[in-house]
Structure 1
Amino acid sequence: MDLFDDLPEPTQTSAPVSAALTAQPQNTKEEEEEEEKGLKRKREDAEHHSDRTAREEECGEIKKVCKEGLPRLRGFVAARRGEREEMQDAHVMLPDMSSCLPTLPGHVSRVSYFAVFDGHGGARASQFAAEHLHHTLAKKFPTGDPENMDKLIKKCLLDTFRQTDEEFLKKASSQKPAWKDGSTATCVLVVDDMVYVANLGDSRAVLCRMEAAAADGQRKPVTLALSKEHNPTIYEERMRIQRAGGTVRDGRVLGVLEVSRSIGDGQYKRCGVISTPDLRRCQLTANDRFIILACDGLFKVFSADEAVKFVLSVLQGGSVEQHPELTEEELKLEAACQQLAGEAVRRGCADNVTVILVSIGY
């Protein structure tokens, strides 16, 4: 069995690959039980809590010198509270988290991390994950010069998600009354030019890749799914929940919880809700333009294709108001991110909306 659900290999001259990527179920019950055993850019949103910002600042300044030929990654974020009383989303952007790591593996030049967490039942699980998950990841990240890097990164991600969930549940259960918060998690880890995506729940990540069409030779955008949604209506998820003694009613666990995997949600863990993420891997190429990470607030009113085309339309638009500290390209990327989140609210999404736009340049 492959370690990851790989995306299609990039092509240079063929017709666009299908945008529909079918992920086979990655974790059987037995595998889950075995795994359970075994620019720094000032685009931080004003709603970031100061304690998380302080933790991120501990990671130091962004290194600007990387291995030749590596993609340049820049992150932009937009967050909207929508009609909710509370902002329950959280996010982290670390275009270079190398200084968070004790040591980098010998052949690795840069490690980047971007994540979106969509809380439910409160903001405490999403904030906890945003504050702690990447620090746990840094402690578990492979060291030395290992040959089996993919296997070690898979184990690192699985262990990190499990530990983050366990630590939050321990903290939640110690409160009076106990916290009942939960959160999705979609994390993009970029090791040099290899993207590893780990996700729980219904937040999503998609990649815009430009492919040459056979007919006219023009490069056309293709939308590739980097994540897999987890909700209890999916057969494999429902079967796991039912085997654990839970039920699915009206598309929800026990008729209440919309997702079948999450961080937190202690009251549902005995009903088959797990914190084991799905993992995907994709190598970046010069054909890749950007990655969109967003909570379901965006994808309730945008399809993945529509979101990609919306961003491209802004990037290909006219001139933007100049800013002394930003290039025109950066201003357009910032505008695309902000307008995408704003358009989601305009289309009637009442949920929190958080969008991270990661540009990919060579």
Structure 2
Amino acid sequence: MDLFDDLPEPTQAGQHLSAAVAVLPLSTKEDKCAKRKREDEESPMVRNEEEEENKKVCREGLPLLRGYVAARRGERDEMQDAHVLLPDMSPCLAALPSQVSQVSYFAVFDGHGGARASRFAAEHLHHTLAKKFPQGETDNLDKLIKKCLLDTFRQTDEDFLKKASSQKPAWKDGSTATCMLVLDDVVYVANLGDSRAVLCRMEADGGATATLALSKEHNPTIYEERMRIQRAGGTVRDGRVLGVLEVSRSIGDGQYKRCGVISTPDLRRCQLTSNDRFIILACDGLFKVFSADEAVKFVLDIFQEGGADQKLMDKEEQFEAACQQLASEAVRRGCADNVTVILVSIDF
């Protein structure tokens, strides 16, 4: 049984990607003394050039990810969302697993009851993740990444609750979390609450597009979530925990943890292919007025219907414009909540 709820396997067009990042072994066993002597004779500039060339070889065939963000306060008095864009997370890590060349991290946090939980998660979760991240030789990377993500969410929740309970009066903030970790061409999404992540994938013939859900929502109306809450002694009224909290999993919300609200994320894994265009991560402010399919279509329509002005824009400008217009359209459609949208472009 797989550790993650996998999405559909990549199409034939993308099956070559894993092979492209295989690390080539050194040729025959080389005399260590001779090798060291040769390295000593080389100038630092030569070694640096070789290192850069090796990095290029390792990265060949891997996706280039760029993140764009748009945030709208809506009709709320306070912006309670937070976000993180780390197209290159390597500086945060002590070392990478031996079979991994690049790591990216993107996250959206939708706060409720205040902005302190979402801001805390945005500031600390990826640093906790970096401390727990697997290094060196690894036999089962999926298993280690799963454990790393689960431990990170648990630790982040515990750290915030400890800080919240020490305040006078105690903080009652909570936050959803949708975090996307990308190792080379494999996406891992960890999700708590009702923010979402969706992938736009083109069909192999370049025609129709498919919208793939990369996350699972957690609210008290879902049978398994409601049963857990009730077993813990809590109740669900009007679709909310104790008639108040709209989500059944979150960071923070210390007053609801005894009622079955947990910080264990749902985990999904997906291998990217050359047919993939972009990923949308957004809080429920977007998805209250857009279905996942509508959001993807809205972005594609902006790319296709921009006319002459759109053609003059480079790809980065197109994605930036699409991200901003998607968030603005959510507000125009009547969403009174905070709206945060991260649009991640995928280029092979």
TM value normalised by structure 1: 0.82
Aligned match of 2:322: 336
Aligned match of 1:292: 280
> Residue 168 of structure 1 is aligned with which of 143, 160, 170?
160
Deviation at residue 10 of structure 1 after TM alignment: 2.2
Q: Distance in 1 between matches of 2:283 and 2:308?
A: 29
Deviation at residue 322 of structure 1 after TM alignment: 9.5
Amino acid across the alignment from 1:277: P
Cα distance, 1:192–1:270 mapped onto 2, change above 3 Å: same
Do the aligned partners of 1:88 and 1:119 also contact (CA within 8 Å) in 2? Answer: yes
- Could you say what secondary structure the match of 1:108 adopts? coil
Aligned match of 1:125: 117
- Could you say what secondary structure the match of 1:332 adopts? helix
Deviation at residue 219 of structure 1 after TM alignment: 1.8
Cα distance, 1:185–1:149 mapped onto 2, change above 3 Å: same
Whose helix proportion is higher, 1 or 2?
A: 2
Q: How does 1:131-150 map to 2 (within 5 A)?
A: 131-150=123-142
Q: Distance in 2 between matches of 1:319 and 1:328?
A: 12
- Could you say what secondary structure the match of 1:219 adopts? coil
Aligned match of 1:303: 291
User: CA-atom RMSD, angstroms?
Assistant: 1.5
- Could you say what secondary structure the match of 2:121 adopts? helix
Q: Distance in 2 between matches of 1:78 and 1:243?
A: 40
> 1:250-270: CA deviations, max 9, x gaps?
000000000000000000000
Aligned match of 1:10: 10
> 1:285-332: CA deviations, max 9, x gaps?
000000000000000000000000000111123244799xxx611111
Q: Distance in 1 between matches of 2:346 and 2:309?
A: 20
Unpaired runs of at least 5, structure 2: 14-54
Q: How does 1:184-223 map to 2 (within 5 A)?
A: 184-212=176-204, 217-223=205-211
Q: Distance in 2 between matches of 1:244 and 1:124?
A: 26
> 1:178-232: CA deviations, max 9, x gaps?
00000000000000000000000000000000014xxxx5521100000000000
Amino acid across the alignment from 1:344: A
> 1:123-172: CA deviations, max 9, x gaps?
00000000000000001000011010000000000000000000000000
Q: Distance in 1 between matches of 2:300 and 2:206?
A: 15
How many residues align? The count is 305
1:318 partnered with 2:304:
no
Aligned match of 1:61: none
Unpaired runs of at least 5, structure 1: 14-63
Amino acid across the alignment from 1:193: D
- Could you say what secondary structure the match of 1:270 adopts? helix
Q: How does 1:50-89 map to 2 (within 5 A)?
A: 67-89=59-81
> 1:70-111: CA deviations, max 9, x gaps?
001000000000000000000000000011101111111100
Q: Distance in 2 between matches of 1:236 and 1:310?
A: 33
> Residue 252 of structure 1 is aligned with which of 234, 240, 244?
240
1:282 partnered with 2:274:
no
Q: Distance in 1 between matches of 2:240 and 2:187?
A: 31
1:351 partnered with 2:323:
no
Q: Distance in 1 between matches of 2:69 and 2:316?
A: 12
Do the aligned partners of 2:88 and 2:102 also contact (CA within 8 Å) in 1? Answer: yes
Q: Distance in 2 between matches of 1:186 and 1:339?
A: 21
Q: Distance in 1 between matches of 2:300 and 2:12?
A: 20
- Could you say what secondary structure the match of 2:137 adopts? coil
TM value normalised by structure 2: 0.85
Q: Distance in 2 between matches of 1:107 and 1:248?
A: 46
- Could you say what secondary structure the match of 2:293 adopts? helix
Do the aligned partners of 2:303 and 2:310 also contact (CA within 8 Å) in 1? Answer: no
Do the aligned partners of 2:5 and 2:267 also contact (CA within 8 Å) in 1? Answer: yes
Q: Distance in 2 between matches of 1:301 and 1:12?
A: 35
1:233 partnered with 2:221:
yes
1:152 partnered with 2:144:
yes
> 1:19-61: CA deviations, max 9, x gaps?
xxxxxxxxxxxxxxxxxxxxxxxxxxxxxxxxxxxxxxxxxxx
Cα distance, 1:156–1:218 mapped onto 2, change above 3 Å: closer
Aligned match of 2:260: 272
- Could you say what secondary structure the match of 1:306 adopts? helix
Amino acid across the alignment from 1:69: G
Q: Distance in 2 between matches of 1:188 and 1:230?
A: 17
Q: Distance in 2 between matches of 1:165 and 1:320?
A: 46
- Could you say what secondary structure the match of 2:247 adopts? coil
